[in-house]
Amino acid sequence: MTKVLHVSASVNGENSNSRQIALKLIDRIKAADSSATVIERDTNEAVVSAITGETVGAYYTPAENRSEAQKKVIAASDKMVAEIMDADVLVIGAPMYNFSIPSTLKAWVDLIARVGVTFNYTENGPVGLVEGKKAYIVAATGGVPVNSPADFATPYLKQVLAFIGITDVEVVEASGFGVNAEEAMAKAIANVEAAKLPAAA
């Protein structure tokens, strides 16, 4: 049974291009594995909030020494880390806002990138602890081509995923919605159909 974590970041909700395309990809995965399950994580929900000094302090306090207040501060982070650890596949809907990712998606990254939990520092450099996963980045833009010099969103997400141990990453391009939305959607759907499906879990 394949477990899919769908991370949605657009402020446009159900009308989001990145969300619609990500759902088409998830439909393909479910068609190939009828037992597949999906967990939805919308980064626009209030629980996905910017980290604070209290958050970082709780991260670096050994679990057995955390106060009840510290446990409460990182409860949302713990939940989101558990979602990633439990998933076989991540599908990240990543609209480009001003050449980069939405601030809420960055907040999600800050909640799941945790030393000693999803990565470790070693004498030979950082080592990711989230292994054996496949990730798709559905990169939707208004006019900036994906992987162009002005695209700071896709390389950043690939770097973050690799940093925590997810190196099997496929980008589903969905460029140009601000130029010709109909043509952009048609190309994006073709890219969804061309995407390599994950191996059955």
Dump pLDDT digits (tens) for 150-186: 999 999 999 999 999 999 999 999 999 999 999 999 9
**Known binding-site positions for FMN:** 10, 16-18, 96-99
pLDDT at 201: 60
**Model confidence, pTM:** 0.95
Assigned CATH topology for domain 6-194 = Rossmann fold (3.40.50)
**Known binding-site positions:** 10, 16-18, 96-99
What is the arithmetic mean of pLDDT over 21-48? 96
pLDDT (tens digit per residue) in 88-108: 999 999 999 999 999 999 999
What is the arithmetic mean of pLDDT over 24-50? 96
Q: What is the DSSP string of 36-83?
A: -EEEEEETTSTTS----HHHHHHHTS-GGG--HHHHHHTHHHHHHHHH
Average pLDDT, the chain: 96
Domain ranges of the chain: 6-194
CA dihedral 160, 162, 164, 166 (to 10 degrees): 120
CA-CA distances (angstroms) from residue 157 to 72, 74, 160, 161, 170? 27, 22, 5, 6, 11
Q: Own/partner pairs for 52-61, CB < 8 Å, 24+ apart?
A: 59/114, 59/115, 60/115
